[in-house]
Amino acid sequence: MIRKATLSDVLSIAALEKQTFSEPLSESFLYDEIALNPFAYYVVYEENHEIIGYMGLRAVDEHAEVMNFAVSEAHRNMGVGSAILEHALEYLKKNHVSLLTLEVRKSNKGAQALYEKYGFRKSHIRKEYYINEDAVVYVKEVRK
């Protein structure tokens, strides 16, 4: 089940961040995003009362950016990421967002394949965006 994230999800999201990323978002950052940022929209994918995936977006006017997107390793390649991404794209369409951007590690071929499957296109490279690794910037026009 995909639902909007709540403050009670922060610890679970932070744990998923730590399992997934070498530079995870902190609990305080996640708390501020969910509780205080009017431009933020965070969703979780919950299965059997466990958060197995999530995505955070920031949408300002007609532009949005993915802050972070993670699926637990045990649940990858099972459609969880696709379901979260489809949910996010529908949300953005309903809110009249026309362009979505994100960065992904150059080495993360699995994520890149997912984004390309959904019509994202490579825009450019951000050198050393991550510690010792470039980021590929993807963009997608969100159809209304």
What is the predicted pLDDT for the residue at 131?
85
Which residues have a catalytic role annotated?
A: 103, 115
Could you give the count of Cα atoms lying within 13 Å of 1 in the half-sphere of its Cβ?
8
- Strand stretches in the chain, DSSP E: 2-4, 40-47, 50-60, 63-71, 99-105, 121-130, 133-141
Q: What is the pLDDT along the chain (144 residues), one digit of tens a residue?
A: 999 999 999 999 999 999 998 889 999 999 999 999 999 999 999 999 999 999 999 999 999 999 999 999 999 999 999 999 999 999 999 999 999 999 999 999 999 999 999 999 999 999 999 888 999 999 999 975
Residue in this structure with the two tokens 């993360």, named with its chain if needed: 108
Q: How many domains does the chain have?
A: 1
**Domain span at residue 11?**
2-141
Three-state secondary structure call for residue 50: strand
CATH number, domain containing residue 54: 3.40.630.30
